[in-house]
C-alpha cells in the first residue's frame, strides 16, 4: 500500500490541535513532535531485527534488536521540526538535509542545499510536514535515489491528492505516511483545509 493514513485517535487529536489557528508556536512545536513520533513508528513497522539472547535479573530470554540503520532526511525548513523526535526514537540514525525553496509565484522549488550521508541500500525517512504540490518531495526523492537509497518512506502531516499523484507518478516505489489527505490546493498552492504555513507556525515567523 503506497499511501497509509494514520488514523490512530491520538494522531487525529494532535492533527486537530495543529490545525487550530489559535495554537501558539510553543504548543504547535510540542504537538508536532508528538505526531511525528506516531508517524515514524507507523512508518518503521517493517524494519529488520536480529534475534538475540538477553539476561534479565531473573533468567535468560530471547529478544530482538534492530539490525537496520535508518537515514532521516528533512526537507528544510519545515521538515527540521520532524527530525528531533525521530532521532530520539532511533539513536543510531544517520541524518541528511535537503534544502528546497519554493517560489511563491510559480510554486516551483529550487535546490539550495543537499548534504547526505552514505545512502547505498539504506531505508530513508523523508520528512516534510506538507505534501502539497508534490514537487519538492519528488525532487528530494530523486536526489535520494540518485544517492543509492533502497527504500524511501515519506512522512507528511497532511497531503493532497495532487501531491500524492505527483510523488508516486515520478517515484512509484515510495511509501507515504500521513494523518490526512486534505481536499485540495488554493490559488497559492496552499493546502485546504491544511494548517497554514507549517514552518511559520513552527518557528513563530508569522
Q: Are 140 and 167 in contact (CB under 8 A)?
A: no
pLDDT (0 to 100) of residue 173: 95
Cβ-contact 144, 126 below 8 angstroms: yes
Cα–Cα distance measured from residue 173 to residue 5, given in angstroms and rounded to the nearest whole number: 17
Decide if 182 is catalytic. Answer: no
Residue 91, pLDDT score:
84
pLDDT digits (tens), the chain, 206 positions = 699 999 999 999 999 999 999 999 999 999 999 999 999 999 999 999 999 999 999 999 999 999 988 999 999 888 999 999 999 999 889 999 999 876 666 656 677 889 999 999 899 999 999 999 999 999 999 999 999 999 999 999 999 999 999 999 999 999 999 999 999 999 888 999 999 999 889 887 86
Q: Identify the pLDDT of residue 147.
A: 93
What share of residues in the chain are helix, strand, coil (percent, to 5)? 35, 30, 35
- Residue 154 is given by DSSP the state E
Active-site option among 69, 102, 145, 151: 102
Return d(Cα 193, Cα 195) in angstroms, integer. 7
**Among the listed residues 129, 71, 79, the one whose alpha carbon sits nearest the alpha carbon of residue 96:** 71
Q: Answer yes or no: 106 catalytic.
A: yes
**Which among 50, 106, 110, 205 is annotated as catalytic?**
106
**Does the active-site annotation cover 201?**
no
On whether the CB atoms of residues 23 and 14 are closer than 8 A, the answer is no
Catalytic residue among 29, 34, 77, 200: 200
pLDDT for res 165? 96
166 counts as catalytic: no
Amino acid at each position: 500500500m503506497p499511501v497509509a493514513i494514520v488514523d490512530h485517535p491520538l494522531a487525529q487529536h494532535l492533527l486537530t490541535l495543529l490545525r487550530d489557528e489559535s495554537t501558539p508556536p510553543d504548543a504547535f512545536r510540542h504537538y508536532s513532535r508528538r505526531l511525528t513520533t506516531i508517524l515514524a513508528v507507523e512508518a518503521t513497522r517493517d524494519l529488520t531485527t536480529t534475534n538475540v539472547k538477553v539476561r534479565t535479573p531473573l533468567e535468560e530470554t530471547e529478544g530482538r534488536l534492530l539490525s537496520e540503520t535508518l537515514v532521516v532526511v528533512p526537507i528544510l525548513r519545515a521538515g527540521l521540526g520532524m527530525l528531533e523526535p525521530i532521532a530520539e526514537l532511533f539513536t543510531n540514525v544517520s541524518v541528511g538535509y535537503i534544502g528546497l525553496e519554493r517560489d511563491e509565484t510559480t510554486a516551483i522549488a529550487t535546490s539550495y542545499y543537499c548534504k547526505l550521508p552514505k545512502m547505498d541500500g539504506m531505508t530513508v525517512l523523508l520528512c516534510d510536514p506538507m505534501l502539497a504540490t508534490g514537487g519538492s518531495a519528488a525532487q528530494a526523492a530523486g536526489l535520494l535515489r540518485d544517492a543509492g537509497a533502497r527504500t524511501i518512506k515519506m512522512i507528511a502531516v497532511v497531503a493532497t491528492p495532487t501531491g500524492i499523484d505527483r510523488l508516486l507518478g515520478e517515484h512509484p516505489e515510495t511509501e507515504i505516511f500521513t494523518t490526512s489527505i486534505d481536499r485540495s490546493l488554493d490559488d497559492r498552492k496552499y493546502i485546504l483545509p491544511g494548517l497554514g504555513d507549517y514552518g511559520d507556525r513552527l518557528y513563530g515567523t508569522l
